[in-house]
């Protein structure tokens, strides 16, 4: 259990904003109530309402975004809120909530996808990702905790997304001024979800054989660029260029000029962005422009650890796949802002130098970093699977040690 959960449990009245699509926040609220904490919830759209159907202490916000700060201040005072919890600290409403709590006694906490995957989720006070207050140098030595496999269910995530956007459309009249953090309408989100499912099926048919042939032919002769969700806060907020397309062009141009002629570069598409973007045409255009046709490759639904183990190194903006790469002792070059971009952990030279000298990973230093990061901010659980951290299962003798390898 992290120190942040202990701090949250010191509050007697907790306000929940938006959570992950699905039932996680309802289960989390029940867990808080089991600790004699009063839980209040604000719904912003029909999807929020569908997955949090309780009537008591549930409130609808139907005003404009630019009116939310004033409304929330009054709400906090009236309801005597001591802590706010949300999923994703860079969503419009959550950014406002964080600003409202500054210089007050109200604590602000955020859930996020796990820095360590697949059996963890992130929970921190104040902010996540490059807003995290984690410090490898200052964190004290702690004992190892057990890690129980959480069996994250892709089908449950997809089903939750479809229902969330469906009820967002059906209840649009009740929340007419709601603004989604992705900048898309609920109808668009629903359509993209269906496209994602279709592409996943197509990839399952054609990618495995093509990927296996590539590995056999170019083992230890390629680098990986781990792409990220195009409009995620990691790209919009925690990077300088603010665009996945701009980073793709930057990396292809650098690779064309400074890599060895016999080396190749794989662009690994993010599965959560599968329905929203496809970079095939862009990569073909850039490969031709920078004269690296035949050396640029594009995959999506392939086994990431296998991809990493056979590579020379990985480039990323600030993806959490870095943790997996470092676990497998694959050198990493980070282009954006990330809490793990530390001397001795990732390559600190320029991208141009990285292609020639990716370096080596200090494995002992990485294991200590990983251990400290888990102790500081990671909860053994899933938004679409089991949540051992809420179920008191850490004492399970069959639990795996946290140093076990990612799948």
Say if 206 falls within a structural domain.
Answer: no
Say if 204 falls within a structural domain.
Answer: no
Q: Are residues 172 and 280 in the same domain?
A: no
pLDDT per position as a tens digit, 229-280: 999 988 988 899 999 999 999 999 999 999 999 999 999 999 999 999 999 9
pLDDT per position as a tens digit, 65-88: 999 999 999 999 999 999 999 999
Q: How many domains does the chain fold into?
A: 2
In which band, very low, low, confident or very high, does the pLDDT at 45 lie, cut at 50, 70 and 90? very high
Token output for 94: 């959550």
The H or E element spanning position 60 is strand 58-60
Q: Average pLDDT in the 292-302 region?
A: 98
Q: Are residues 88 and 7 in the same domain?
A: yes
Task: Report d(CA 386, CA 384) in Å as an integer.
Answer: 7
Between 61 and 402, residue with greater pLDDT: 61
Q: Are residues 48 and 144 in the same domain?
A: yes
Nearest alpha carbon to residue 391 among 38, 87, 30 = 30
pLDDT per position as a tens digit, 133-159: 997 655 556 667 789 999 999 899 989
What pLDDT score was predicted for residue 182? 77
Tell me the whole-structure pTM to 2 decimals: 0.89
pLDDT per position as a tens digit, 4-39: 999 999 999 999 999 999 999 999 999 999 999 999
Residue 6 makes CB contacts below 8 A (sequence gap 6+) with none
Q: Are residues 122 and 77 in the same domain?
A: yes
What pLDDT score was predicted for residue 399? 40
Alpha-helix residue ranges (DSSP H) falling in 243-338:
244-258, 280-289, 304-309, 321-327
Say if 140 falls within a structural domain.
Answer: yes
Say if 200 falls within a structural domain.
Answer: no
Q: Are residues 240 and 122 in the same domain?
A: no
In degrees rounded to 5, what are phi and psi of residue 400? Answer: -80, 150
pLDDT at 41 over 50: yes
Say if 201 falls within a structural domain.
Answer: no
β-sheet with 378-380: strand ranges across: 58-60, 38-43, 13-16, 83-87, 107-113, 120-125, 378-380
Domain that holds residue 61: 3-181+377-401
pLDDT per position as a tens digit, 190-227: 889 889 999 999 999 999 999 999 999 999 999 999 99
Q: Are residues 37 and 169 in the same domain?
A: yes
The H or E element spanning position 333 is strand 332-334
pLDDT at 405 over 80: no
In degrees rounded to 5, what are phi and psi of residue 63? Answer: -85, -175
The least confident of 22-26, 109-113, 183-187 is 183-187
Q: Are residues 361 and 381 in the same domain?
A: no
What pLDDT score was predicted for residue 15? 98
Say if 328 falls within a structural domain.
Answer: yes
Cα dihedral sign for 143, 144, 148, 152?
positive
For residue 14, give the 3-state DSSP assignment. strand
What pLDDT score was predicted for residue 186? 73
Q: Are residues 161 and 302 in the same domain?
A: no
* Mean of the per-residue pLDDT values of the chain: 92
ω before 118 within 30° of 0 (cis)? yes
In sequence order, the β-bridge partners of residue 107 are 83
Residue 256 makes CB contacts below 8 A (sequence gap 6+) with 290, 291, 292
Q: Average pLDDT in the 289-318 region?
A: 98
Burial code of 255-291, b = ≥16 C-beta within 10 A, e = fewer? bbeebeeebbbbbbbbbebbbbbebeebbeebbeebe
Q: What is the CATH number of the domain that holds 90?
A: 3.40.50
What pLDDT score was predicted for residue 145? 74
Q: Are residues 394 and 355 in the same domain?
A: no
Q: Average pLDDT in the 294-301 region?
A: 98
Say if 46 falls within a structural domain.
Answer: yes
Let me know: does 112 contact 121? Beta carbons within 8 Å: yes
Say if 188 falls within a structural domain.
Answer: no
What pLDDT score was predicted for residue 337? 92
In degrees rounded to 5, what are phi and psi of residue 188? Answer: -65, -45
Q: Are residues 8 and 131 in the same domain?
A: yes
Alpha carbon dihedral 73, 75, 80, 83, in 10-degree steps, equals -70
What pLDDT score was predicted for residue 395? 38
Q: Are residues 74 and 48 in the same domain?
A: yes
pLDDT at 378 over 60: yes
Q: Are residues 67 and 123 in the same domain?
A: yes
What pLDDT score was predicted for residue 265? 98
| DSSP result, 349-397 | S-HHHHHH------HHHHHHHHHHHHHHHEEE--TTS--HHHHT-TT-T
What pLDDT score was predicted for residue 135? 78
């Amino acid at each position: 259990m992290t120190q942040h959960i202990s701090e949250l449990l010191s509050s007697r009245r907790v306000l929940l904003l938006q959570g992950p699509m699905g039932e996680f926040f309802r289960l989390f609220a029940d867990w808080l109530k089991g600790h004699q904490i009063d839980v209040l919830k604000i719904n912003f759209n029909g999807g929020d309402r569908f997955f949090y159907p309780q009537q008591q202490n549930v409130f609808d916000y139907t005003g404009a975004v630019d009116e939310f700060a004033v409304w929330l201040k009054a709400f906090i005072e009236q309801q005597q809120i001591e802590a706010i919890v949300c999923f994703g600290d860079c969503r419009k409403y959550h950014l406002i909530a964080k600003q409202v709590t500054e210089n007050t006694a109200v604590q602000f906490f955020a859930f996020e996808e796990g820095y360590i995957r697949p059996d963890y989720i992130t929970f921190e006070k104040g902010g996540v990702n490059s807003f995290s207050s984690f410090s490898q140098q200052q964190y004290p030595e702690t004992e190892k905790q057990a890690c129980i496999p959480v069996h994250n269910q892709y089908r449950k995530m997809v089903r939750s997304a479809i229902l969330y956007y469906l009820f967002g459309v059906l209840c649009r009249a009740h929340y007419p001024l709601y603004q989604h953090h992705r900048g898309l309408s609920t109808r668009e989100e629903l359509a993209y979800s269906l496209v994602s499912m279709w592409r996943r099926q197509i990839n399952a048919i054609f990618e495995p054989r093509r990927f296996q042939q590539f590995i056999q032919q170019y083992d230890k002769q390629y680098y990986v660029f781990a792409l990220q969700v195009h409009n995620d806060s990691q790209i919009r907020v925690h990077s300088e260029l603010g665009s996945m397309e701009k980073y793709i062009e930057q990396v292809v141009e650098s690779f064309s000029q400074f890599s060895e002629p016999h080396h190749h570069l794989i662009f690994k598409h993010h599965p959560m962005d599968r329905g929203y973007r496809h970079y095939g045409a862009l990569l073909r255009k850039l490969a031709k422009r920078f004269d690296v046709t035949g050396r640029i490759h594009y995959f999506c639904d392939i086994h990431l650890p296998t991809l990493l183990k056979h590579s020379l190194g990985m480039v990323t903006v600030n993806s959490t796949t870095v943790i997996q790469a470092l676990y497998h002792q694959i050198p990493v070059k980070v282009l954006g802002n990330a809490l793990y971009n530390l001397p001795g952990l990732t390559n600190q030279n320029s991208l141009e130098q990285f292609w020639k000298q990716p370096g080596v990973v200090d494995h002992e230093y990485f294991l200590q970093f990983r251990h400290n990061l888990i102790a500081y901010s990671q909860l053994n659980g899933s938004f679409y699977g089991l949540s051992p951290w809420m179920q008191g299962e850490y004492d399970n003798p069959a639990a795996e040690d946290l140093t076990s390898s990612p799948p």
